[in-house]
Amino acid sequence: MKRIILIFLVMGFISCKDSKKADSPEFQKGKEVEIEEAKGFSITSFENYSILKVNTPWPEAEDPLVYLLAEKNAEIPENLEYNQKVEVPIESLVVTSTTHIPALEALNEEGKLVGFPGLNYISSENTRKLIDAGKILELGQNENINTEILIDLSPDVVIGFAINASNKSFETIQKTGIPVIYNGDWTEATPLGKAEWIKFFGVLFGKESEAEEIFSEIRNEYIKAKELAKTSEKRPSVIAGSMYNDKWYMPYGNSWQAQFIKDANANYLYAETEGDGSLSLAFESVLEKAEDAEYWVSSGQFTSYEQLFNESEHYKRFKAVRDKNVYSVSLSTGETGGITFYELGPQRPDLILKDLISIFHPGLMEDYEPVFYKPLK
């Protein structure tokens, strides 16, 4: 009998020990947040913390950056490896790209923005009201952020972006104890891939479900617009880009911009090209290939045909120019001159696609009012 009682006691002790082990932070099983289109980040959620992994903080990054987003007093596994820890939900932040602004506004969190480098570039009316009220401070320029003002603001986190691993301003900021999280939305190659980075912001504010709902709606609208464009039997020819210092810079055929033209059921004349950045072409080369293109979109800084002809009378040789089918995003600006397309466009690819469909296939969207692309004056 003593032996039987001893066996039960030992088994009970082992069971209790195993139960505690299974419930400990080291044995929590995370849930992967579904990322449908983006390639540059992932999120794994646990009971009171999340792991945000940014795979492409900048082009050709050798290693991902791992961020621990933990609630206050969260139990964290001792052996967990990460680059930076941030307490969530965050109450104040600094962002460094206008492309971050629409995500904050969509999540109703723009009121937590306390500083930005280059306030005049911000176009959104909601955020501009906060700027005018003195609630968002000027931090200089991205290349030379005023770290003294930023440190005085003491935000919970700085959302940065970089073209490579070297950024002295962000290094200085991190040394003061203010965490910096790199956002790589701009490295995404597809329209919906960029838009899905709203989930990156959702997890920072504890609004994962809201971010998922917003992205799902954008994705559905994009797909509906794409299917509508397919119903047109006509597929017009298109060129893009603009001249700068005697070179015509044109998006590659595998680029974000070219994807819109393809999805709008148009024939981008440089669709077969592949590469990073932009094609750099001589004017004569573009004229030879694209003189008869029916449309010219994203015509750089030009806002009128007068400006176009002042630059060069040779533009008149293009059919798109003669037919007044040149469209620019430079005509849609905020009150301080910031171009709306560069701020809102990456977050709202559905609106960009609808703009282009209304241009290339006007019969499909007769009452649509373009948001970004406007005809030259």
Count of CB atoms situated within 10 Å of the CB of 195: 26
Beta bridge partners of 248: 243, 281
30, 23, 108: which is closest to 66 by C-alpha? Answer: 30
pLDDT in tens, 272-326: 999 988 899 999 999 999 999 999 998 778 899 999 899 888 899 999 999 999 9
Q: Which CATH class is domain 28-218?
A: alpha beta
Region for residue 355 given its phi and psi (left: phi exceeds 0; alpha: psi -120 to 50; beta: otherwise): alpha
Within 8 A by CB and 6+ apart from 237, the residues are: 266, 267, 269, 290, 292, 293, 294, 295
As separate numbers, helices (DSSP H) first and strands (DSSP E) second, the chain gives 14, 20
pLDDT in tens, 208-221: 999 999 999 999 99
Count of CB atoms situated within 10 Å of the CB of 363: 8
SS3 152: helix
Q: Roughly what angle, to the nearest 10 degrees, separates helices 256-263 and 208-230?
A: 50
In the chain, % of residues over pLDDT 90: 77
| Chain centroid, CA 350 distance in Å | 14
SS3 115: strand
Within 8 A by CB and 6+ apart from 306, the residues are: 377
SS3 231: coil
- For the chain, domain boundaries: 28-218, 233-375
pLDDT in tens, 114-161: 999 999 999 999 999 999 999 999 999 877 899 999 999 999 999 999
Taking the chain, what is the end-to-end CA distance rounded to the nearest angstrom? 99
Count of CB atoms situated within 10 Å of the CB of 32: 10
Mean pLDDT of 237-252: 90
CATH superfamily placement of domain 233-375: Nitrogenase molybdenum iron protein domain (3.40.50.1980)
Domain 233-375 in the same topology as domain 28-218:
yes
The answer to whether 57 and 170 are in contact (CB under 8 A) is no
Distance CA 13, CA 19 (A): 10
User: How would DSSP label each residue in 159-184?
Assistant: EE--SSS--HHHHHHHHTT--EEE--
Position 14 confidence tier, pLDDT thresholds 50, 70, 90: very low
Q: Roughly what angle, to the nearest 10 degrees, separates helices 208-230 and 349-360?
A: 10
Mean pLDDT of 61-71: 94
Position 81 confidence tier, pLDDT thresholds 50, 70, 90: very high
